[in-house]
């Protein structure tokens, strides 16, 4: 059984790197739209009870609750710390979970079947890189390593996650999928996605 952590910043501070393409109110609406889309896809793939949003923001948690999805407080100053704390909490309440998947909200082409494909991969660690093979867009970890694999989100995270898995004796599976590799990380990404959505 796959459990999912979805980290989400407060809507008014998320996607700040898109400031050149979209105004603050537009970014707030975009972040909520992306969160809702991610919750919908993850719930369809695995069931709402298998998902937790990682956020201390009341509005984010209300949106999650509207999908019958629970939340874990983000008590850290950075994404890696937030995910590490959420992982410890999830393992505390669900010590027998089979797989743990980290799904960010900025994958606009995410779909249930894509998430299920990643979860079904026969490997202890599965990494979906971004288009540049720099970032980590999806990370799925088998129960044997769910507590041990360190999080390295940030620049160069794909290689760092790959090397961290190897250090644990695991050869990660790398899934290259153009839909999951596309993330909204820069103004040009947003413009391309907006153009596709309008077509």
Domain ranges of the chain: 2-193
> Which pLDDT score is estimated for 25?
92
pTM for this predicted structure: 0.95
22, containing H or E segment: none
- Percent of the residues in the chain that have a pLDDT greater than 70, as a whole number: 99
Average pLDDT, the chain: 94
Percent with pLDDT over 90 in the chain: 80
Checking if the pLDDT of 39 tops 60, the result is yes
* Average pLDDT of span 187-197: 85
Class of domain 2-193: alpha beta
Q: How far apart are the first and last CA of the chain?
A: 37
* 199 — pLDDT class (breaks 50, 70, 90): low
d(CA 145, CA 42): 22
Q: Are 1 and 99 contacting, i.e. CB atoms less than 8 angstroms apart?
A: yes
- CA–CA distance, 135 with 51 (Å, rounded to integer): 23
**Distance between CA atoms of residues 159 and 74, nearest Å:** 25
Q: What is the pLDDT of residue 85?
A: 96
What does residue 174 show for φ and ψ, rounded to 5 degrees?
A: -115, 120
pLDDT 10s digits, 76-132 = 889 999 999 999 999 999 888 899 999 999 999 999 999 999 999 999 999 999 999
């Amino acid at each position: 059984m796959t459990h999912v952590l979805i980290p989400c910043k407060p809507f008014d501070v998320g996607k700040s790197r898109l400031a050149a393409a979209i105004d603050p109110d537009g970014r707030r609406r975009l972040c909520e739209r992306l969160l809702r889309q991610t919750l919908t896809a993850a719930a369809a793939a695995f069931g709402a009870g298998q998902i937790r949003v990682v956020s201390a923001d009341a509005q984010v948690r209300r949106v999650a609750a509207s999908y019958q999805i629970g939340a874990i407080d983000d008590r850290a100053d950075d994404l890696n710390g937030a995910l590490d704390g959420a992982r410890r909490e999830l393992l505390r309440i669900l010590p027998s979970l089979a797989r743990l998947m980290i799904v960010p909200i900025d994958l606009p082409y995410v779909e249930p079947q894509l998430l299920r494909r990643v979860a079904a991969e026969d490997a202890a660690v599965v990494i979906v890189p971004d288009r540049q093979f720099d970032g980590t867009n999806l990370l799925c970890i088998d129960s044997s390593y769910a507590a041990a694999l360190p999080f390295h989100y940030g620049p160069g995270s794909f290689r760092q996650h790959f090397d961290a898995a190897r250090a644990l004796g695991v050869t990660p599976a790398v899934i290259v999928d153009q839909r999951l590799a596309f993330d909204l990380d820069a103004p040009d990404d947003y413009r391309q996605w907006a153009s596709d959505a309008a077509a």
